Amino acid sequence: MNSDQGPHILLLEDQALVRAGMRELILMAEPKAKILEASNFSQATDFLSKESIQYAFLDVDLKADKTGIDVLAFISSNEINVRAIMLSGNSEKEVVLDSINSGACGFIPKSMDGNDVFRQAIDTVLSDRIFLPLDFLQSPSKVAKENYSEPISNDDSPLVSGRSLQVLYYICQGLPNKSIARKLKVEEGTIRKHYVPKLFAAFKVARRSELIIEVSKRRIKIPRFDD
């Protein structure tokens, strides 16, 4: 993408009024963005197949047979290099975890209070960080309900670099070890036995979902790696 051009952003939302509001908030955060609007699974996957898209904001519940999670599965199975951020009116822990485990790079609750707070969430993901609601990151007793804007930390220095940082980038996109190995032109065992354990040790976690949560907590910026 030319540095003078804005990112190409897919916005999947079945409600036209909500989609229009989201579009305005995204343009406030990134005025040069080219926004591709979709209202259903077919439109979204068509854009993903034909366009070079950097970010995808996906509504979880499309009130149809296919959901935003199905779009995530499409992205993963086709190894599309895009950061997917889920939107949902339901921010229960199970919904957020399902999104992360399906390959989402972030989760923005529609229940967030006020456009300014919502825009902060969009700014976070457009700056290549992972946004998750604070009441998911912290125990309910430690954070007020719907207090999403307070950063836990502001760490611009990842604990890893080089090839390990590339692996972290693809893990945050939900790619399996086999796909990561293919992109990096190494053996799958190298990813599984070396890089993944190294990342788990660096962040003191035991599974992929915990790794992504920890990256969000630390507000670490994960640079984009083009295929």
Contact present, 43 and 88 (Cβ < 8 Å): no
Which class for 198: exposed (0-12), middle (13-18), buried (19 or more C-beta within 10 A)?
Answer: middle
What is the number of structural domains in the chain? 2
pTM: 0.84
Residues 6+ apart with CB under 8 A from 59: 12, 13, 14, 68, 86, 87, 88
- What is the per-residue pLDDT for 150? 40
Quote the crossing angle between the two packed helices 208-218 and 93-101, to the nearest 10°: 110
Q: Which domain holds residue 193?
A: 162-218
- DSSP letter, residue 205: -
Contacts 24+ apart (CB under 8 A), 140-143: none
* Residue corresponding to tokens 């935003």: 68
Tell me what pLDDT residue 154 has. 46
Where does the pLDDT of residue 50 fall: very low under 50, low under 70, confident under 90, or very high at 90 and above?
Answer: very high
131 and 170 inside one domain: no
CATH number at residue 102: 3.40.50.2300
**Are residue 46 and residue 134 in the same domain, yes or no?**
yes
Residue with more model confidence, 141 or 9? 9
Residues 184 and 130 in one domain: no
Segment 43-59 shows an average pLDDT of 96
Task: Say yes or no: 133 and 213 in one domain.
Answer: no
Q: Report, as an integer, the average pLDDT of 114-131.
A: 83
Q: Helices 208-218 and 196-203: crossing angle, nearest 10°?
A: 50
Of 142, 173, 196, the last residue of a domain is: 142
Q: Based on the domain organization, do 116 and 28 belong to the same domain?
A: yes
Give the CATH number of the domain where residue 178 resides.
Answer: 1.10.10.10
pLDDT in tens, 180-212: 999 999 999 999 999 999 999 999 999 998 999
> Last residue of a domain, which of 142, 171, 187?
142
Placement of tokens 């790619």 in the chain: 175
Which pLDDT tens digit goes with each residue over 125-165? 888 889 998 777 764 433 333 333 344 444 555 578 889 99
Q: Is residue 224 part of a domain?
A: no
Residues 190 and 79 placed together within one structural domain of the fold = no
Tokens found for residue 188: 């799958």
The count of other CB atoms within 10 Å of the CB of residue 172 is 23
Asked if the structure places residue 155 within a domain, the reply is no
Q: What is the DSSP string of 51-105?
A: S--SEEEEES--SSSS-HHHHHHHHHHTT---EEEEEES---HHHHHHHHHTT-S
Asked if 133 and 175 sit in the same domain, the reply is: no
Residue of 193 and 4 predicted with greater confidence: 193
What pLDDT, on a 0 to 100 scale, did the predictor assign at position 137? Answer: 76
For 65-77, what is each residue's pLDDT tens digit?
A: 899 999 999 998 8
Higher pLDDT, 107 or 136: 107
Task: Examine residue 104 and state whether it is found in any structural domain, yes or no.
Answer: yes
Question: What residues form DSSP beta bridges with 34?
Answer: 8
Are residues 20 and 80 part of one domain? yes
pLDDT of residue 203: 92
Query: Residues 179, 100: one domain?
Result: no
Q: Does the residue 98 lie in any domain?
A: yes
Does pLDDT of 227 surpass 70? no
Q: Are 85 and 131 in contact (CB under 8 A)?
A: yes
| 64 and 134 belong to one structural domain | yes
On whether residue 60 sits in a domain, the answer given is yes
pLDDT > 60? residue 81: yes
The verdict on 108 and 213 lying in the same domain is no
In this predicted structure, what is the pLDDT of residue 152?
A: 40
101 and 70 part of one domain: yes
The total of other beta-carbon atoms located within 10 Å of residue 220's CB is 23
